[in-house]
Amino acid sequence: MNRTFSQKIKCFVTSWEMVLLCLLVAECVIFGAANPKFLKPALLFNSMNDFMSICIISLFVTFVMITGGIDIQAGSIVGLTSIIIGVTWQDYGCNIWVSVLIAVAAAALCGALSGFFIAYCGVQAMVVTLGGQFLYAGVALLVSNLASTASYQGISGFPEDFRVLAKTKFFGIVPSQLVVFLILVVIAYILLHRTKYGRKIFLVGVNPEAASYSGINYKRVIMSTYVLSAISASIAGIVLTSYLGSAKSDLGSNFTLNIITAVVLGGTLSTGGKGNVIGTALASMVIGLLRFGLPLCFKIGTQYLDIPVGILLLAVVLGRAAAGHPRIVNLKARLKRSKPA
């Protein structure tokens, strides 16, 4: 049943990932032509620090969306993680790595709570994660009140070995955030596409009823995806805190649109059942470069960046909807039939 090498190549060339790769190259060419500075490796790599958190979270929100759910709370967990690290370290005298562990555990707990409501109580994922967004952002604010410094200032002055986490540059140029991202891509890829757990995620997304008739505990699978996405948000929070050198409760509050766009653009069906990690990774890079290139090369203010991202999201969902619309499908079928005649 193994396909030949040439078949594999052919399959890859016609895949959606290839389209995304072309988009990435096109971005590089266009931005590079408009402003050659864009292609300076040091600048390009440095720019990645600004959007790596989105890439990291998108990877695991992909899991959630494959099960047919949605996660709009991940952004608020970034801020929660960040502030928990800051407060436990600064005001409760924890070792910085203990603080990090506490923050990850808290994030996992938040994910588990939302996941529980969604999987076991049958509440729509959208509503629960909406409430979660309020709740976790609110808790982050409360935690920041425990700090001796004012919340708008953030907590800074972290020890050097924590700062190193995001400051290290491999080979003098590759930022450690990118390395973290690539490691997570590998982990997510293996988890989703190579393990039994990953297979269950897909099956649950395609048809939860059929999955349960196959003896799969679909509720547990659904809940676990929210835990994973919360943990990925906490990792993004850790890296971001380390990179910025200060802990703030409102980090990540405007990530939602970018995350969802990255996942949907990456080829994940908004109705669940289909999607892949590589697609999401590429799509998040497409969005990231867009957010870096437009201001640099076309002098577009960073505040405007929601427009292209929003349009991208609308274009992708509308395009997919149109392709699956009964009228278009009928038309296609008619064209196909009329061709041989």
Partner 1 sequence: MKKILKARELSSFLFLVVLFLIVGILNPSFLTAGNIIACFNDSVVYIIVSVGMAFAIFIGEIDVSVGANLGFTATVVGCMLRDGQNWAVAFLTGILIGAAIGLFNGWGVAVMNVPSLIFTLGTNGVMRGMMYVYTGGAWVENLPAEFKQLYTMPLAGSITVSFTVTAVIVVVVHLLLKHTKRGRYFIAVGDNPAGATLVGIPAVRTKVVAYVVCGIFAAVSGIVFSSRVGFVTATSGNGYEMKAVAACVLGGISLSGGVGSVIGASIGAVIMASISRLLVFMELGSTYDNTITGVMLLAIVVVDALMQRRTAEMNRRQRLAARTGSADFGKGGNA
Partner 2 sequence: MPEKALLNIKNIYKSFGMNAVLKGISLDLNEGEVLALIGGNGAGKSTLMKIIMGIYQHDSGEIYVKGEKVTSNKTSAALASGIYMVPQEPLLFPNMSVEENIEIGFNQKKSELHKELLELMRDVGWNLDLNRKASSLSIAEQQMVEILRGLLRRAQILILDEPTSALAFDEVESLFACVEDLKSKGIGIIYITHRLAEVFQIATDVAIMRDGRVPVRGKVSEFTREMLVKGLLPPDAQEKENSLKARMKGVDYEHLKPVFEIQNLSGYGFSDISLKVYPGEILGMAGVVGAGRTELATTVFGKDKVLSGRVLLDGKDITGLSTRQVIEAGLNYVPEDRHLHGLFKISDIAANTSSAMLEKKEMGRFFLNKKAECEMTQKYVDDFRIKVTGQDQLAGSLSGGNQQKVVIGRSLSTSPKLVILDEPTRGIDAAARGDVYSIIHELREQGVAVLLISSDMEEIIELSDRVMTVCQGRINGEFAGTDINQDTLMSASFGITKHSEVGA
Sign of CA dihedral 307, 309, 311, 317: negative
Provide the minimum distance between the beta carbon of 180 and partner 1 in the complex, in angstroms, as a whole number. 27
Which residues within the stretch 292-311 sit at the binding site for partner 1 (CB under 8 A)?
301, 303-311
Residue 196 partner contact from partner 2, partner 1, none using kind-dependent CB cut-offs of 5 to 8 Å: partner 2
Interface with partner 1, residue 4, by CB under 8 A: no
How far apart, in whole angstroms, are the C-alpha atoms of residue 303 and residue 254? 11
Residue 121 partner contact from partner 2, partner 1, none using kind-dependent CB cut-offs of 5 to 8 Å: partner 1
Interface with partner 1, residue 137, by CB under 8 A: yes
Encoded one letter per residue, x for contact with partner 2 by CB under 8 A and - for no contact, window 268-297 reads -x---xx-----------------------
> With contact defined as beta carbons under 8 Å apart, do 219 and 120 qualify?
yes
> With contact defined as beta carbons under 8 Å apart, do 55 and 212 qualify?
no
Encoded one letter per residue, x for contact with partner 2 by CB under 8 A and - for no contact, window 72-91 reads --------------------
> With contact defined as beta carbons under 8 Å apart, do 17 and 267 qualify?
yes
Cα dist. 334→185, 319, 320, 322, 325 in Å? Answer: 42, 20, 20, 16, 14
Q: Looking at 6, 148, 213, 303, which residue binds partner 2 (CB under 8 A)?
A: 213
Interface with partner 1, residue 146, by CB under 8 A: no
What is the total count of residues that contact partner 1 (CB under 8 A)? 48
Interface with partner 1, residue 195, by CB under 8 A: no
Cα-based torsion angle of the residue sequence 25, 27, 32, 33 in order, rounded to the nearest 10 degrees: 100
Sign of CA dihedral 94, 97, 98, 103: positive
Encoded one letter per residue, x for contact with partner 2 by CB under 8 A and - for no contact, window 153-192 reads -------------------------------------x--
94 or 141: CB nearest partner 1: 141
Residue 141 partner contact from partner 2, partner 1, none using kind-dependent CB cut-offs of 5 to 8 Å: partner 1
How far apart, in whole angstroms, are the C-alpha atoms of residue 298 and residue 33? 11
290-295: long-range contacts, CB 8 A cutoff, minimum separation 24? 290/27, 291/50, 291/51, 291/258, 292/38, 292/44, 292/47, 292/48, 292/50, 292/51, 293/27, 293/30, 293/31, 293/38
Q: By the criterion CB under 8 A, which residues form the site for partner 1?
A: 70, 72, 117, 121-124, 126-128, 130-139, 141-142, 144-145, 256-257, 260-261, 264, 270-271, 301, 303-311, 313-314, 317-318, 321-322, 325
